A and B are shown apart, each in its own frame.
Chain A
Amino acid sequence: MSQKKISLSVVGLAALGLVLSACSTAVPGAESDTKPADAVEFPVSSSVELEGSPTFEAMQERGKIILGVKEDQPGFGMRDAATGERSGFDIDLARWIAAELGFGEDRIEYVTIPSQSREQSLTNGDADLIIGMYTISEKRKELVGFAGPYMTNGQSLLVRADNTDIKGEDDMAGHKVCSITGSTPIQYVKQNHPDVETVEFDNMAQCVDALTSSQVDAVTTDEALLIGYTTLAPDQLKVVGKPFTHEGFGIGVSKTDDALRKFVNGLLTEDSDVLQKIYDGNLGSSGVAFQAAEVDNY
């Protein structure tokens, strides 16, 4: 397709390569400001006991944990198409929780679960936990259980670096704004800003591509996700304005498994500094501070 898309993905791969090589080689002194080397190791707990959790029993029976994640969210959940390697904030968070449950690297199975099928996957038991920018909402709580939130977030805007017209939510009028088909952010724009022309694509990369090639003027979704895109192409893209909605990201568990939900909540509450470390390791270079959230142990 367009050259810009190619160049953007090249930048993305290069950035990912940098991050990966920084993890594995850990040259002393080098890259110290972008990638602390201590952010990736989690000691695996042994003899974990979790009373009354059917999900945990199922994990132990099959000998591994199945984690539902994303594979197309830079900085949070990315899968390298060439190596199959997964990386990002949510992936590290997933590895941490798995380790605390007694499952080391070799006993984790990742599955990529599209946003629309998250509730069904948890209900069916296709995934033990879903960790991937899963926004907690009252309506969703009727279908699944949520541990967390581990991070607060809100919808924000991504624009081209040279754009000076759009500084926040109120400047969107008369512009083209893109997000994922049917997503909460696009429904918010349609409801609150009827004078904005919306464009919807199946995935974020298409929106970002449309943005870099000037087909749309802004891309909107959770700020955290947008930050991930700016780390890929810092001189082409920027995040503007304050987040204009307030939501929390949670970890999806089966609705019937309160024990597992409380276990994860316990982790998030007691070791809240681990999250900061994971954030610094993945998104520290973005210049945007981590916004921790207070766990809602309902």
Chain B
Amino acid sequence: MQVLTDNLDLFVLGFTNTGIMFVISAVFALLLGSVIGILRISPSAPMRAVGTVYVNTLRNTPLALLMMFFALGYPKLGLPALDYFTLATVALVLYTASYVAEVFRSGVNSIDKGQTEAARAIGLSFGQVMWVVLLPQAFRNVVPPLMSVFIAALKNTTVASGFSVMQAGAISANMSERGENLLVTLLWVALFFFILVMGLAALQRKFERKWAQS
């Protein structure tokens, strides 16, 4: 307990940054991922190609590599300077979005083809088919896998500690230099992650119940 109370500054700073990074990443990954997901199932071949290339590129690149590019490569491109926190968050958004897109695609695919055909038959456009018929059902189907993607994203924030972002993953490095016991530190970090993930799991159950009744 003393390990925690003596170094509360580090834990608070670390987990605050982890929280901020996670919330921003989750929101933008959800938006971007939905768009990419829709691209992947759109009737237009070029749009499908864009979606496919995006997912295959981003999902097949290790996150550490992606962050390394943004943290070490981006500043050398002569583009407007961004701080490391922003760069790492952008990397996490792009990476997570590829998983979100696939989850959406699977959600839409799980809906019986007859529904799309029926919607088309009564004259709805592609956009209308998506918004009115498919997406509401797809969203309900994808709540559990989507939450898994977000839980993974929460834990993935720790990768950014290697690239000048002070968050939960960097706590142990700081603590070791302060001469604290590494094992105890890691147990505390793990406990806080556990609590955060439990929160997300509770959110998942709430959505599942809400949409199951409607």
Q: Which residues of A contact B (CB under 8 A)?
A: 1-2, 115-120, 137-140, 142-143, 180-184, 187, 198-202, 206, 209-210, 213, 215
- Given known contacts A201-B164, A215-B75, A119 and B176 CB-to-CB distance under 8 angstroms: yes
A221–chain B nearest beta-carbon distance, Å: 11
Contact of A187 among B73, B177, B180 (CB under 8 A): B177
Q: Report Cα–Cα, A142/B180, bound state, in Å.
A: 9
Contact of B174 among A2, A138, A187 (CB under 8 A): A187
Contact of B176 among A1, A116, A142, A201 (CB under 8 A): A116
- Given known contacts A119-B182, A182-B173, A182-B177, A1 and B73 CB-to-CB distance under 8 angstroms: yes
Q: Do A210 and B170 touch across chains, with their CB atoms under 8 A apart?
A: no
B-chain residues with CB within 8 Å of residue A142 when the two chains form the complex: 179
Per the 8 Å Cβ criterion, residues 170-200 of B in contact with A are 170-183
A-chain residues with CB within 8 Å of residue B180 when the two chains form the complex: 139
Interface size on B, residues (CB 8 A): 25
A185–chain B nearest beta-carbon distance, Å: 9
A-chain residues with CB within 8 Å of residue B72 when the two chains form the complex: 1, 206, 209-210, 215
Q: Do B84 and A199 touch across chains, with their CB atoms under 8 A apart?
A: yes
Q: Do B182 and A181 touch across chains, with their CB atoms under 8 A apart?
A: no
Q: Do B181 and A143 touch across chains, with their CB atoms under 8 A apart?
A: yes
Q: Report Cα–Cα, A1/B71, bound state, in Å.
A: 12
Q: Do A200 and B179 touch across chains, with their CB atoms under 8 A apart?
A: no
CB < 8 Å A-B pair total = 68
**What are 5 A-B contacts with C-beta separation under 8 Å?**
A119-B182, A143-B179, A199-B84, A201-B71, A206-B72
Q: Do A139 and B178 touch across chains, with their CB atoms under 8 A apart?
A: yes
Q: Do B181 and A119 touch across chains, with their CB atoms under 8 A apart?
A: yes
Q: Report Cα–Cα, A59/B78, bound state, in Å.
A: 55
A-chain residues with CB within 8 Å of residue B84 when the two chains form the complex: 199
A-chain residues with CB within 8 Å of residue B139 when the two chains form the complex: none
Contact with A along B140-181 (1 / 0, CB 8 A): 000000000000000000000111101000111111111111
- Given known contacts A199-B164, A206-B72, A215-B75, A181 and B173 CB-to-CB distance under 8 angstroms: yes
Which chain A residue has the least Cβ–Cβ distance from B169?
A: A181
Q: Report Cα–Cα, A139/B183, bound state, in Å.
A: 15
A-chain residues with CB within 8 Å of residue B73 when the two chains form the complex: 1
Q: Report Cα–Cα, A137/B176, bound state, in Å.
A: 12
Q: Do B164 and A183 touch across chains, with their CB atoms under 8 A apart?
A: no
Q: Report Cα–Cα, A148/B162, bound state, in Å.
A: 31
Q: Do B182 and A183 touch across chains, with their CB atoms under 8 A apart?
A: no
Contact of A181 among B161, B178, B181, B183 (CB under 8 A): B161
In this assembly, does B76 line the interface, its C-beta being within 8 Å of a C-beta of chain A? yes
